[in-house]
């Protein structure tokens, strides 16, 4: 099955997203001490309190942290402000085709970034996909993770003999009223399941990225299928907290989630687990970018320097449950993180990851049409 990706593919993600993280860390340049501030617009669960406190203690820099829950939120905020109001933002790797025409990002001064501290396949995403007009990379990797299946271990057991879940179980009658998805990604992964049962042709969901005509054909079928089963869903989530609340307090026994929230619950001792499904988990890399209106440049590079030290990245991923591209970061995590990672990606799961394909602006716009149709049904 062909995967249309930007700068990272299944093989390189397997090699560098897991195994390479165990490689020896490279020495990072010393962070610039400052008494200033840095304004960070980033996913809502990426910067634990103790991580921020350690950064401020080391550098004297205060972090003004605004949490977000979607790429659309980042784009809309930057469009509304013409790239002002934030020093660092965190777009996902596959959104480069949407950011390029906006001209709202500025290139990094790579002489101030210890890019050798992160795995090479993920660092290559920036120059490969985020260098607009040959002016230099506007994106560097920060956190990677997947979207797959989470469930209550006391209330749900996957049906398959090998214990591997399927996206189809979210939409099944036997779990009706007890499941959750995020709308656009839940619909995409419903399409992957539809391919396995003959409701779509194999490869249709990836072919939909190639043209608007094919996209409308495929997503029309997916939307009709999802609307017919929408009543089986308990919750449509939009951020990390709503995923956690759904599993702990919202009556959800199984759902499609990011890896971080359920693994954070699992680490805290709650009866929750996460695993890549049979159809393959969706893999992504969230980065750091500098908007054109950023004002605190020294503080930005101090923040990056701190983030690229394995002794800082490791404890952070221990807390939030995602993964770090920083080489050697997993050497600073506890046994719990390593156990969770192994259980989330058993067997061939890492080799079966589905990197999110690059999304052209037309694709995002048309998908919004179908998502709105599904949500309003």
Distance, CA of 20 to chain centre:
19
Q: In the structure, what pLDDT confidence band is assigned to residue 35 with cuts at 50, 70 and 90?
A: low
What are the residues facing 65 on neighbouring strands?
A: 40
Read off the tokens for 207.
């072919």
Q: Phi and psi at residue 101, in whole multiples of 5°? A: -65, -20
Domain boundaries, the chain: 10-144+284-344, 146-282+352-376
Question: What secondary structure, in 3-state letters, does 51-112 show?
Answer: HHHHHHHHHCCEEEEEEECCHHHHHHHHHHHCCCCCCEECCEHHHHHHHHHHCCEECCCHHH
Using alpha carbons, select from 277, 310, 309 the residue that is nearest to residue 59.
309
Does the pLDDT at position 320 exceed 60? yes
C-alpha–C-alpha distance, residues 7 and 283, integer Å? 13
Q: Phi and psi at residue 314, in whole multiples of 5°? A: -60, -55
Read off the tokens for 115.
């890019």
Q: In the structure, what pLDDT confidence band is assigned to residue 27 with cuts at 50, 70 and 90?
A: very low
Characterise 85 by phi-psi region: left (phi > 0), alpha (psi -120 to 50), beta (else).
Answer: left
User: Tokens 């951020």 — which residue?
Assistant: 239
Q: Which of 192-201, 218-227, 316-325 has the lowest mean pLDDT?
A: 316-325
> What pTM does this model have?
0.86
Higher pLDDT, 115 or 34: 115
Is the torsion defined by CA of 97, 66, 259, 197 positive or negative? negative
Q: Average the pLDDT over 256-263 and give the result.
A: 96
C-alpha–C-alpha distance, residues 238 and 181, integer Å? 9
Do 146-282+352-376 and 10-144+284-344 have the same topology in CATH?
yes
C-alpha–C-alpha distance, residues 41 and 153, integer Å? 34
Of 3.20.20.80, 1.10.10.10, 1.20.950.20, 3.40.190.10, which CATH number belongs to 10-144+284-344? 3.40.190.10
C-alpha–C-alpha distance, residues 96 and 227, integer Å? 30
pLDDT in tens, 202-251: 999 999 999 999 999 999 999 999 999 999 999 999 999 999 999 999 99
Residue 5's pLDDT is what? 39
* Architecture of the structural domain at 146-282+352-376: 3-Layer(aba) Sandwich (3.40)
pLDDT in tens, 151-168: 999 999 999 999 999 999
Q: Which residues of 161-190 are buried (b: 16+ CB within 10 A; e: fewer)?
A: eeebbbbbbbbeeebeebbbbbbbbbbbbb
């Amino acid at each position: 099955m062909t995967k249309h990706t930007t700068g990272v593919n299944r093989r390189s993600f397997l090699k560098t997203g897991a195994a390479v993280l165990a490689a020896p860390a490279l020495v990072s340049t010393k962070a610039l001490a400052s008494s200033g501030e840095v304004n960070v617009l980033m996913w809502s669960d990426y910067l634990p309190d103790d991580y921020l406190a350690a950064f401020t203690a080391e550098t004297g820099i205060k972090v003004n942290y605004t949490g977000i829950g979607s790429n659309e939120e980042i784009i809309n905020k930057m469009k509304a402000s013409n790239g002002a109001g934030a020093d660092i933002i965190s777009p996902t790797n596959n959104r480069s085709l949407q950011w390029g025409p906006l001209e709202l990002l500025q290139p990094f001064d790579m002489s101030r970034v210890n890019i050798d501290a992160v795995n090479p396949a993920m660092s290559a995403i920036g120059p490969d996909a985020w260098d607009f007009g040959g002016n230099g990379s506007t994106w560097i990797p920060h956190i990677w993770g997947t979207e797959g299946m989470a469930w209550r271990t006391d209330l749900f057991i996957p049906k398959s003999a090998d214990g591997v879940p399927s996206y189809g179980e979210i939409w099944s009658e036997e779990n009706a009223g007890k499941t959750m998805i995020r709308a656009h990604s839940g619909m995409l992964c419903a399409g992957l399941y539809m391919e396995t049962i003959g409701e779509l042709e194999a490869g249709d969901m990836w072919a939909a990225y190639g043209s608007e005509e094919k996209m409308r054909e495929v997503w029309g079928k997916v939307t009709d299928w999802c609307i017919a089963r929408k009543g089986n869903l308990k919750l449509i989530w939009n951020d990390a907290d709503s995923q956690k609340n759904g599993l702990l307090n919202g009556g959800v026994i199984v759902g499609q989630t990011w890896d971080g929230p359920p693994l954070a619950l699992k680490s805290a001792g709650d009866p929750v687990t996460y695993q890549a499904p049979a159809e393959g988990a969706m893999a992504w890399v969230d980065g750091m970018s500098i908007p054109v209106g950023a004002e605190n440049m020294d503080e930005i590079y101090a923040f990056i320097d701190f983030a690229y030290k394995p002794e800082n990245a490791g404890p952070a991923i221990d807390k939030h449950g995602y993964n770090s591209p920083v080489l050697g970061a997993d050497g600073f995590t506890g046994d719990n993180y390593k156990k969770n990672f192994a259980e989330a990606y058993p067997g061939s799961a890492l080799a079966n990851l589905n990197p999110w394909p690059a999304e052209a602006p037309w694709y995002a716009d048309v998908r919004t049409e179908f998502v709105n149709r599904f949500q309003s049904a």
